């Protein structure tokens, strides 16, 4: 019996959902360390110390985005091309591409080290000039941060190779290994050896080193010593604009911590960092895993009408899941904070979490729209759009943070996310048109916000309990079925 197109679509979505779930488990294992260690950090480190960690983490993300040249993204795009007729020739070409990108990465990291390490004391004094009275060796911390950045960049090559080969189980197992090493070393260094902030970075370095050593056999199996000089220009043309995308994206999501640290104080940075970590559960469980699983599949789907229908359907299900998680995490945010924070100083973060969660809904849809531009290899547009959003974000932060502090930073994040959502949709549709169910997404968002405001009202009236929160979420789920955002027949096909 011939398989129906809808059955094929349901199977594709089911397979993709399975991969997203496994990638989510892998990401959750790695990122969950931060959440598991929060009670330890907040009980041992002062708010200002935790603010230093926040600034260094932001710095490491910025450096990772710049120094990687986003070559790992080029690796995904080049290895999903199948223009060569012979599979043997194609496989040899792929191995040469991996060697070329790995070599380019090593050259960049070596050059940066020779340039920066002689001036590490000057850089640390500039970066933390307002906090030199703290009993911390900032030069030492910067060196540890840089080592961690280097190993993390090198690890992206085997990790993306695992993505391309669609081996999410291997990805999750590798994350588990990193988690065990990082978590164990943090506990050992902080609790037993009474180390300070540097223990956080040593734990990260150890986890990354262990993963890299274990991935050497995978790299050697998929590499051929043949530098493709003829491909270097095209690879850089594709990847370098994505450096600006990554840098702009980091400024969008983390730059507000720099503004907070200079305009306000490290205490506000610490509270905002905690709120960001809790709200990033959504980014961790859904967005990162979604991007890891769907991007290679999307590149293979744009060239057919059935593939476009698949992408539109996936976008809707992603939006639906993000709305659900926004409500659930917002409703239980105070309970979550009490678990991860041992100090009442951090409880002020409860007001920021829903605002940051709301921004993730638009970030999710924007990720899907960005695939249009990546597929046609016009990555310069990604750079233009992201930097436009970053400029607006930084400008609004400078204007709003002096008066509203960390809440102003959170509101600015939402405004920037909505702006980027609109811009990416317009440009993406001009390159490859896909009919997305945005009206349906909008109605679902309105329903979600209605339940959020009901929860807020219950809280203001002082009658909110754990049981009332559970009942509210259950009513929301029932409403999704009543208004046919979720249909039983579709759900059966996907399970």
Instruction: Report the range of poorest mean pLDDT among 5-19, 339-353, 404-418, 454-468.
Output: 5-19
Mean pLDDT of 304-315: 90
Q: Which two tokens stand for residue 311?
A: 């992408």
Within 10 Å of residue 479's Cβ, how many Cβ atoms? 16
Angle, in degrees to the nearest 10, between helices 47-67 and 266-282: 60
User: Tokens 């993730």 identify what position?
Assistant: 360
With a cut of 90, say whether residue 347 has pLDDT above it.
Answer: no
Q: Which of 158, 171, 172, 168 is nearest to 16 (CA)?
A: 168
Instruction: Report the range of poorest mean pLDDT among 85-89, 191-195, 225-229, 469-473.
Output: 85-89
pLDDT tens by residue, 203-239: 889 989 998 998 888 889 989 999 999 889 999 999 8
Whole-number pLDDT of residue 256: 85
Mean pLDDT of 342-355: 83
> Widest CA span of the chain, in angstroms?
76
Whole-number pLDDT of residue 64: 83
Q: Which two tokens stand for residue 390?
A: 């970053």
- Evaluate whether 463 touches 456 at the Cβ level (below 8 Å): no
With a cut of 70, say whether residue 457 has pLDDT above it.
Answer: yes
DSSP string, 226-274: ---HHHHHHHHHHHHHHHHHHHHHHHHHHHHHHHHHHHS-HHHHHHHHH
Q: In sequence order, what are the residues at sequence separation of 6 or more whose Cβ sits closer than 8 angstroms to the Cβ of residue 90?
A: 82, 84
Q: Which two tokens stand for residue 9?
A: 């679509």
Whole-number pLDDT of residue 17: 66
Alpha-helical (H) ranges within 193-228 are 198-221
With a cut of 90, say whether residue 253 has pLDDT above it.
Answer: no
With a cut of 70, say whether residue 83 has pLDDT above it.
Answer: no
Q: Which two tokens stand for residue 247?
A: 């840098």
With a cut of 50, say whether residue 287 has pLDDT above it.
Answer: yes
pLDDT tens by residue, 135-167: 556 788 889 999 999 999 999 999 888 877 777
Angle, in degrees to the nearest 10, between helices 266-282 and 353-375: 60
**Which whole-number Å values give the CA distances from 449 to 13, 333, 444, in the listed order?**
27, 16, 9
d(CA 199, CA 354): 31
DSSP string, 101-113: HHHHHHHHHHHHH
pLDDT tens by residue, 408-455: 999 999 999 999 999 999 999 999 999 999 999 999 999 999 999 999
d(CA 233, CA 230): 7
**pLDDT band at residue 202 under the 50/70/90 scheme:** very high
- Evaluate whether 58 touches 250 at the Cβ level (below 8 Å): yes
3-state helix vs strand vs coil in the chain, percent to 5: 85, 0, 15
Q: Which of 434, 442, 437 is nearest to 373 (CA)?
A: 434
Whole-number pLDDT of residue 196: 83
Name the more confident of 90 and 235: 235
Phi/psi of residue 45, nearest 5 degrees: -90, 145
**pLDDT band at residue 173 under the 50/70/90 scheme:** confident
Q: Which two tokens stand for residue 224?
A: 């051929």
**pLDDT band at residue 3 under the 50/70/90 scheme:** very low
Q: Which of 252, 258, 249 is nearest to 393 (CA)?
A: 252
Burial of 7 (0-12, 13-18, 19+ CB in 10 A): exposed
**Which whole-number Å values give the CA distances from 184 to 25, 141, 181, in the listed order?**
19, 20, 5
d(CA 397, CA 412): 6
With a cut of 90, say whether residue 254 has pLDDT above it.
Answer: no
DSSP string, 402-439: HHHHHHHHHHHHHHHHHHHHHHHHHHHHHHS-----HH
Whole-number pLDDT of residue 356: 94
Whole-number pLDDT of residue 5: 47
Give the range of the structural domain holding residue 234, as residue numbers without chain letter.
5-494
Instruction: Report the range of poorest mean pLDDT among 110-124, 243-257, 273-287.
Output: 243-257
d(CA 97, CA 228): 7
Tell me the HSE value of 101 on the side-chain side, using a 13 A CA sphere.
Answer: 35
pLDDT tens by residue, 373-389: 999 989 999 999 998 99
In the 8-state DSSP scheme, what is residue 463? -
Q: In the chain, what percentage of residues exceed pLDDT 90?
A: 39
CA end-to-end span of the chain, whole Å?
22
d(CA 366, CA 419): 10
Number of separate domains in the chain: 1
The average confidence (pLDDT) of the chain is 84
d(CA 178, CA 188): 15
Tell me the HSE value of 324 on the side-chain side, using a 13 A CA sphere.
Answer: 18
d(CA 320, CA 325): 9
**pLDDT band at residue 28 under the 50/70/90 scheme:** low
User: Tokens 């129906």 identify what position?
Assistant: 4
Mean pLDDT of 121-136: 65
């Amino acid at each position: 019996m011939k398989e129906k197109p809808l059955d094929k679509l349901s199977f594709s979505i089911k397979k993709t959902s399975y991969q997203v779930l496994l990638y989510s488990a892998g990401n959750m294992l790695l990122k969950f360390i931060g959440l598991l260690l929060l009670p330890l950090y907040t009980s041992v480190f002062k708010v200002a110390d935790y603010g230093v960690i926040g600034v260094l983490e932001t710095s490491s993300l910025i450096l990772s985005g710049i120094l990687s040249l986003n070559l790992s993204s080029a690796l995904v795009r080049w290895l999903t091309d199948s223009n060569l007729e012979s599979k043997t020739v194609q496989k040899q070409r792929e191995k040469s591409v991996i060697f070329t990108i790995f070599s380019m990465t090593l050259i960049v990291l070596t050059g940066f080290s020779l340039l920066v390490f002689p001036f590490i004391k000057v850089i640390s004094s500039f970066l933390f000039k307002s906090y030199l009275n703290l009993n911390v060796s900032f030069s030492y911390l910067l060196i540890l941060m840089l080592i961690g950045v280097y190993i993390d960049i090198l690890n992206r090559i085997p990790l993306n190779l695992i993505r391309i080969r669609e081996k999410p189980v291997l990805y999750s197992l590798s994350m588990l290994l990193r988690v065990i090493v990082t978590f164990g070393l943090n506990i050992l260094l902080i609790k037993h050896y009474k180390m300070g902030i540097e223990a956080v970075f040593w734990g990260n370095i150890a986890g990354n080193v262990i993963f890299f050593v274990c991935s050497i056999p995978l790299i050697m199996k998929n590499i051929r010593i043949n530098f493709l000089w003829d491909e270097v220009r095209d690879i850089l043309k594709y990847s370098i604009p994505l450096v600006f995308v990554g840098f702009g994206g980091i400024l969008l999501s983390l730059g507000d911590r720099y503004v907070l640290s200079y305009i306000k104080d490290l205490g506000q940075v610490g509270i905002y960092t905690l709120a960001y970590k809790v709200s990033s559960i959504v980014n961790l469980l859904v967005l990162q895993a979604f991007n890891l699983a769907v991007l290679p599949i999307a590149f293979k789907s744009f060239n057919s009408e059935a593939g476009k229908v698949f992408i539109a359907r996936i976008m809707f299900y992603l939006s639906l899941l993000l709305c659900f998680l926004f409500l659930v995490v917002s409703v239980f945010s105070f309970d979550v904070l009490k678990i991860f924070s041992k100090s009442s100083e951090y409880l002020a973060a409860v007001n920021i979490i829903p605002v940051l969660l709301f921004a993730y809904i638009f970030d999710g849809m924007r990720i899907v729209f960005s695939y249009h531009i990546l597929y046609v290899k016009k990555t310069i547009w990604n750079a233009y759009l992201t930097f436009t959003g970053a400029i607006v974000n930084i400008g609004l932060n400078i204007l709003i943070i002096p008066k509203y502090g960390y809440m102003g930073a959170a509101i600015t994040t939402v405004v920037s996310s909505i702006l980027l959502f609109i811009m990416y949709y317009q440009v993406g549709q001009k390159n490859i048109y896909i009919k997305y169910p945005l009206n349906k997404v909008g109605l679902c968002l309105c329903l979600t916000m209605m339940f959020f405001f009901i929860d807020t009202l219950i809280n203001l009236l002082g009658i909110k309990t754990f049981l009332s929160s559970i009942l509210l979420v259950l009513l929301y789920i029932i409403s999704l079925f009543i208004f046919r955002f979720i249909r039983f027949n579709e759900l059966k096909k996907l399970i």
